[in-house]
Amino acid sequence: MNRLDGKVALITGGNVGIGEAIAKLFTREGAAVVITGRRKDRLERVVGEIERKGGRALAVAGSVTEDTHAREAVAQTVRTFGRLDILVNNAGIGDFGKKIHETDDATWQRVLDINVTGVFRMTRAAIPEMLKAGGGAIVNISSIASLVGIPMLPAYAASKGALDALTRAIAVDYAAQGIRCNVVNPGLIETPMAESLLSDPAKTAEVLSHYLIARPGKPEEVAKMVLYLASDDASWVTGSTFTIDGGMTAR
């Protein structure tokens, strides 16, 4: 038996990187998935790859900055697959290479609107359906930038710190209704967001000097942790923070 048989999952930012890896792993484990993102062509590529391997998937293009998109993504999930059991809030952006006095209001607001308020919008839309289903699992994708100081990313760090706190608040408010909420905090992962860093060998080597396992993580490795938290294997786990960072925060 697969770990997600009969489950339906909604994954934001499911068209690339960690979100794509989660969507593909979830379908291999028996779930039907709905993936969202701003690039329809990339969403359809992922859906096509899932369907060719016998999985069930649906693409809903749009941005977590729009409440109408959040509500429509949930509505389409329920119309197509009948229920909603799992929400993975993976969509996010970074703004790297600036100190706080170099960060303008528009950049600050854009990062927080996607990384925090987008999670608020999607979760607000999803929880009523989870309550109807008798429970559910929410997994938020944060960063080790919420746990340790990392230079030159104040807006990103602030947004991920807020996301960790929001995770705990959701866990407290809905545990009695069978809804669990946890947060995963990856370190450096081989994704398009990290491409500018990983394309520079000198910068990559400097960053990885802080990692006990001196290589970037893979999206598939993060997906396996998310699978555990989304599955019934984690039925006694809520409000918790899970680092996956090659030992970076162990020092």
Active site residues: 156
Whether the CB-CB separation of 248 and 242 falls below 8 Å is answered with: no
For the record, the structure tokens of 4 come out as 């997600």
Whether the CB-CB separation of 36 and 62 falls below 8 Å is answered with: yes
- Burial (CB < 10 A; 0-12, 13-18, 19+), residue 209, is exposed
Strands (E), the chain: 8-12, 32-37, 56-61, 86-89, 136-141, 179-186, 241-244
Whether the CB-CB separation of 21 and 222 falls below 8 Å is answered with: yes
Whether the CB-CB separation of 139 and 89 falls below 8 Å is answered with: yes
Question: What is the three-class DSSP state of 35?
Answer: strand
Question: What order do you get walking across the sheet with 136-141 strand by strand?
Answer: 56-61, 32-37, 8-12, 86-89, 136-141, 179-186, 241-244
Whether the CB-CB separation of 187 and 144 falls below 8 Å is answered with: yes
Phi-psi group of 211: left, alpha or beta (phi > 0 → left; psi -120 to 50 → alpha; rest → beta): beta
